[in-house]
Structure 1
Amino acid sequence: MTGRYCSLAQQSAPAFTPGLTAERLGALIAGRAMWVNGTVLHYYFFDGAEDGSVIPVPGTGQSRRVSWVGAEEQRDVVRACFREWQDLGTGISFVEVGDRSEAELRIGFQVGDGSWSAVGKDCLQAGQQERTMNFGWDLTAPGERGTALHEIGHALGMLHEHQSPYAGIHWDDEAVYADLAGPPNFWSRETTFFNILRKLDPAEVNGSVWDPQSIMEYPFSGGLILEPEQFRAGLNPPGTLSPADKEFALRWYPPADLPRLPALEPFRSVPLRLAPGEQADFVIDPPETREYTVGTFGANDCVLVLFEERDDEPRYVAGRDDGGQPHNATMKARLVKGRRYYVRVRLYSAWGPGETAVMCW
């Protein structure tokens, strides 16, 4: 019998403009869920009596509320796992908040609903009353701390390692379907296919080789994997961050150096000499209070995000993603003299001749 597994929600494949080159399409797939580096992700634990799912009571015609509130010892495990990811020294940081309206990550502990998380920026599509992450079993039980590390990996944009096309796994499909249909998961064939058997696009995966030690790898009991031969008796990752996990996080989110950011001054264009996946960061100290426009120029696909510094922390103001579109990313925002703002531009790809640039005016 297999263990309890994370179950990602099935979503429609992202729609891209027809006719994109393979290079542009691959870059968009690889980076669509990733945050711009330097983002502070705020997390919130549901804690009210009204927080929960309303589910029907079989045979009664009535319903009841199932709580999303977790015990303090459960929250402490999740807090410790956020610290472990942050202690890698990435440019992403995590801050707990007591107001759900300030949180990008909203965490519940509904028992029986499985453990799962939105992947990267997908959490921004959820309403403020909705969870973006859930833990469906006791995280303090032996061996279960890895569940929290795993779900935070999803929140950073990582996907399941066993679904990598580089894994070379040959499954006994019917054995997998039968195993996941039983306890403790009780998955449908559709859920099992989406989370186990489906192969990811090469551009989506965490690296160019399979890492069976990854925190994003499931354990599997014997008889489910036919090849590679050494895993026929089972696959048992340690449930900790592997060297490749750490390398992935630091590659996408390298340490940020805010004090040395170049200035983005009104009406002065700054060239963007970036490779796919790279990011440029700028600071704006507005010379006057008014509405400004910030935008990119040239043949590029990018994500453009504006933050305001509050209490020594960059807080999200506005963002635009022009990936796969024929136009560039622009946004308007009222900037106040005496306050500091940060502009972050992450490039998917530059696909045409000529220089790309960013400017505020």
Structure 2
Amino acid sequence: MTGRHCSLTRQPDPVLAPGLAAERRSALIGGRPMWVNGTVLHYHFFDRDSDGSVIAVPGTGETRRVGWVGAERQRNVVRECFAEWAGLGIGLSFAEVDDRSEAELRIGFQVGDGSWSAVGRDALRLGHNERTMNFGWDLTVPGERAMALHEIGHALGMLHEHQSPFAGIHWDDEAVYAELAGPPNHWDRETTRFNILRKLDRDEVNGSLWDPQSIMEFPFTSGLILEPEQFRAGLNPPGTLSPLDKEFVLRWYPPVGTRLPEELVPFRSAPLRLRPGEQADFRIEPRQTREYTVGVFGDADAVAVLFEERDGVPRYVTGEDDGGSPDNATLRARLVKGRRYVVRVRLYSVRGSGETAVMCW
């Protein structure tokens, strides 16, 4: 990657109940942004003349309206990068859609607004006419393709590698502020602090080791890093998916088998028998059309998501995350006879000694 950096916007910190055990808190913080495995992430490129917004012109105090629509050659770079992530054999897949209301990921190419992405499931908080990802410069320029891989990494739930508490980086803070205040980034001090100097919580990071070769690592010029000594002359990641990047996404999103999930029969509970971080999938084939409830039971934190299979592809219906609350995830939806549905339950942590189960009724 070049000196153009990704500027994430600050999201509200998760509200966790006071007094949570350290293990439970760690599982909740680390797992919150991650999608349930088997999800098809639909992406849409903004394509209307009306798609755009007003941005500040650096150094002038003026503003101007800039569109979000990108050239086809830019879109092709992003398509290729989605394909590269999918080519690892992960349990997520990607599909481009024309209808933005069907897309979890909505992509703009607004010049002057930098490059950024919502992190994982934070994309679901944004409205259908809002971007979840933006590219602020030409991705076809040599070295810029890495930015598309990087932003898709954020969309999968990954964070900036240089902010890992395991990195042991000692910055020359004022040099960093001065570097990022100039072109091409034009960041204020808070943006630089949030995206560069701030250390992440140990529970947020992609792994227990710092990976300076990661696609989620920024390049830095000489004089910004004081320690480790070998990076005083600069840090230059290759701009490709590293072995640890691949290991991380395959751990969270292992390949999905072709075997049909176990059927969840109404009024009959199915034990989950999951360890923290594991997932169980069940199919529902309604015998009648009506409103159904799907609920998780037991002293556990979990996220449950219901999909409807359309032409063999799972489409999101509804979901609930009970993480950190005393309640259990409960989904309600109208299910249609003759169609097939899949409920996916991922466990954050178990907070009691009893068994956990799922039931529909």
TM-score by length of 2: 0.97
Partner Cα separation in structure 2 for residue 50 and residue 117 of structure 1? 21
CA contact (8 A) 2:309 2:339 kept: yes
- Who is 2:179 aligned against? 179
- Who is 1:269 aligned against? 269
Deviation at 1:63, TM superposition (A): 7.0
- Who is 2:206 aligned against? 206
Number of corresponding residues: 359
Partner Cα separation in structure 2 for residue 315 and residue 180 of structure 1? 41
- Who is 2:127 aligned against? 127
Deviation at 1:31, TM superposition (A): 0.5
SS of the residue corresponding to residue 80 of structure 2 reads helix
Partner Cα separation in structure 2 for residue 64 and residue 188 of structure 1? 19
1:236-251 equivalence runs, <5 A: 236-251=236-251
Deviation track 1:251-281 (CA, whole Å, cap 9, x = no partner) reads: 0001112433111111111111111111111
- Who is 1:333 aligned against? 333
Residue type of the alignment partner of 1:231: F
CA contact (8 A) 2:206 2:248 kept: yes
Cα RMSD, aligned residues only? 1.7
Partner Cα separation in structure 2 for residue 14 and residue 125 of structure 1? 13
Deviation at 1:23, TM superposition (A): 1.1
Residue type of the alignment partner of 1:42: H
Deviation at 1:199, TM superposition (A): 0.6
Partner Cα separation in structure 1 for residue 138 and residue 240 of structure 2? 17
Residue type of the alignment partner of 1:113: D
- Who is 1:166 aligned against? 166
Deviation at 1:231, TM superposition (A): 0.5
SS of the residue corresponding to residue 73 of structure 1 reads helix
- Who is 1:231 aligned against? 231
1:63-142 equivalence runs, <5 A: 64-142=64-142
Go from structure 1 to structure 2 and tell me whether the alpha carbon gap of 1:57 and 1:173 turns closer, same or farther (over 3 Å shift). closer
Partner Cα separation in structure 1 for residue 258 and residue 348 of structure 2? 22
Shifted more, 30-39 versus 266-275: the winner is: 266-275
1:3-22 equivalence runs, <5 A: 3-22=3-22
Partner Cα separation in structure 2 for residue 62 and residue 22 of structure 1? 48
Shifted more, 265-274 versus 254-263: the winner is: 254-263
Shifted more, 199-208 versus 13-22: the winner is: 13-22
Partner Cα separation in structure 2 for residue 310 and residue 199 of structure 1? 43
SS of the residue corresponding to residue 89 of structure 1 reads coil
Deviation at 1:56, TM superposition (A): 7.3
Residue type of the alignment partner of 1:313: V
SS of the residue corresponding to residue 305 of structure 1 reads strand
Partner Cα separation in structure 2 for residue 198 and residue 63 of structure 1? 29
Deviation at 1:214, TM superposition (A): 0.2
CA contact (8 A) 2:57 2:112 kept: no
Deviation at 1:187, TM superposition (A): 0.8
Deviation track 1:199-250 (CA, whole Å, cap 9, x = no partner) reads: 1111111111000000000000010111111101000000000011011111
Deviation track 1:312-334 (CA, whole Å, cap 9, x = no partner) reads: 10000010100000111111111
Residue type of the alignment partner of 1:76: N
Deviation track 1:165-219 (CA, whole Å, cap 9, x = no partner) reads: 1111111111111111111111111110100011111111111100000000000
Residue type of the alignment partner of 1:167: A
Deviation at 1:65, TM superposition (A): 2.9
SS of the residue corresponding to residue 280 of structure 1 reads strand
Residue type of the alignment partner of 1:308: E
Partner Cα separation in structure 2 for residue 56 and residue 163 of structure 1? 27
TM-score by length of 1: 0.97
SS of the residue corresponding to residue 316 of structure 1 reads strand
Deviation at 1:3, TM superposition (A): 0.6
Deviation at 1:62, TM superposition (A): 10
Deviation track 1:55-81 (CA, whole Å, cap 9, x = no partner) reads: 4799xx997531100000000000000
Partner Cα separation in structure 1 for residue 11 and residue 37 of structure 2? 25
Deviation at 1:26, TM superposition (A): 0.7
Go from structure 1 to structure 2 and tell me whether the alpha carbon gap of 1:337 and 1:238 turns closer, same or farther (over 3 Å shift). same
Residue type of the alignment partner of 2:313: E
Partner Cα separation in structure 2 for residue 276 and residue 5 of structure 1? 34
Is 1:297 equivalent to 2:297 in the alignment?
Answer: yes
- Who is 2:219 aligned against? 219
Partner Cα separation in structure 2 for residue 62 and residue 277 of structure 1? 48
Partner Cα separation in structure 1 for residue 150 and residue 64 of structure 2? 30
Deviation at 1:150, TM superposition (A): 0.1
SS of the residue corresponding to residue 196 of structure 1 reads helix
Residue type of the alignment partner of 1:91: G
- Who is 1:50 aligned against? 50
Residue type of the alignment partner of 1:129: N
Gap runs ≥5 in structure 2: none
CA contact (8 A) 2:55 2:113 kept: no
Partner Cα separation in structure 1 for residue 19 and residue 258 of structure 2? 39
1:26-45 equivalence runs, <5 A: 26-45=26-45
Deviation at 1:302, TM superposition (A): 0.4
SS of the residue corresponding to residue 262 of structure 2 reads coil
SS of the residue corresponding to residue 226 of structure 1 reads strand
Residue type of the alignment partner of 1:186: H
